[in-house]
Amino acid sequence: MKPVNNLAETRTPDGSRFSLHEHDGEFFLKLNGLQLMSTTSTLSERLLADYACPEDPASGLLAPKRVLIGGLGLGYSMKRVLELVGPGADVVVAELLPEVVKWNREFLEHINGHLIDDPRVTIFQGDVYECIRQAADGEIPTWDAILLDTDNGPTSLVQPQNHQIYGRKGTAAIWHSLTPGGRAAFWAATREPAFESRLRRDGFRTEWHAAQAHERAKRAAHRVYVGERPIDATGDRAPARFAPPPAKKDSRPKRFRRSKPPL
């Protein structure tokens, strides 16, 4: 049996151990020894992008121009978003741990790490909630799409501080941070009916989709919940879904960092 190679390790702000491993050509991210994601199971991460960034020109549904991704991980959601959006899109990836960006360059460049240098991509080193809050407060333009895969879901939290995203205050901030007609997609390890109800109470149009971990999986163990901010009070969709951001605002989140290759 081939050995497991422990490639790198860091600590999260609360002291948890976050690590990258390789085995037989596949890569794994773990938190305190618990596997969070791997290159063997990427379908649900890609579906997260599909449901957040749908496009149907015939019905006036346009590809989003401003996209926020919560967490870089192994880069599969970022890769799929870049396949879906246009050449002029602005894709901000909020990553709390600078080491994760470094690992993508050093160990995962051949997977998705090279996409960090796509001109549409910017890296915000910090909490994704800060990008949401700034848009909700009018400090930066609103988002057309938000992808959140920052934990195991709204209730199966590995990091308790992520409750600020999935709690009542967080979902309200997400609603205000979205462009009318914009979508937020939430990855969940399992069914979250109470969370879907909260989204509806906050004014979102909601839907959920079963998601397999990988194409050959016999059952769809995971869920992707989608909340769409209606165009108006009745939820009618306008022909032009995404309005251009106000020119007077800086589109970058404060403390924004554009990722550059190390010298």
Tell the residue number behind the tokens 């991980």, with chain if given: 73
Is residue 22 predicted with pLDDT exceeding 80?
yes
Q: Tell me how far the alpha carbon of residue 152 is from its chain's centroid.
A: 13
Distance CA 215, CA 45 (A): 12
Structure tokens at 96: 């709390």
**Nearest C-alpha neighbor of 70 from the set 52, 88, 89, 43:** 52
Per-residue model confidence as pLDDT tens digits over 120-144: 999 999 999 999 999 999 999 999 9
The domains of the chain, with CATH numbers, are: 41-257 (3.40.50.150)
Which band of pLDDT confidence, cut at 50, 70 and 90, is reported for residue 165?
Answer: confident
Cβ atoms 249, 185 nearer than 8 A:
no
Tokens 């379908």 correspond to what residue? Answer: 43
Tell me: pLDDT of 111 over 70.
Answer: yes
Task: Using alpha carbons, select from 254, 237, 263 the residue that is nearest to residue 54.
Answer: 237
Whole-number Å distance between alpha carbons of 175 and 193? 18
pLDDT above 90 (res 157): no
CA pseudo-torsion sign 178, 224, 74, 86:
negative
For the segment 108-117, the average pLDDT, to the nearest whole number, is: 97
- Cα 186 to the center of its chain, rounded Å: 8
Q: Are 148 and 185 in contact (CB under 8 A)?
A: yes
Of residues 208, 176, 183, 182, the one with CA closest to residue 195: 208
**How much is the pLDDT for 62?**
75
> CB-based contacts of 61: which residues, under 8 Å, 6+ apart?
54, 55, 237, 241
Terminal Cα distance for the chain, rounded: 38
Which pTM was predicted?
0.86
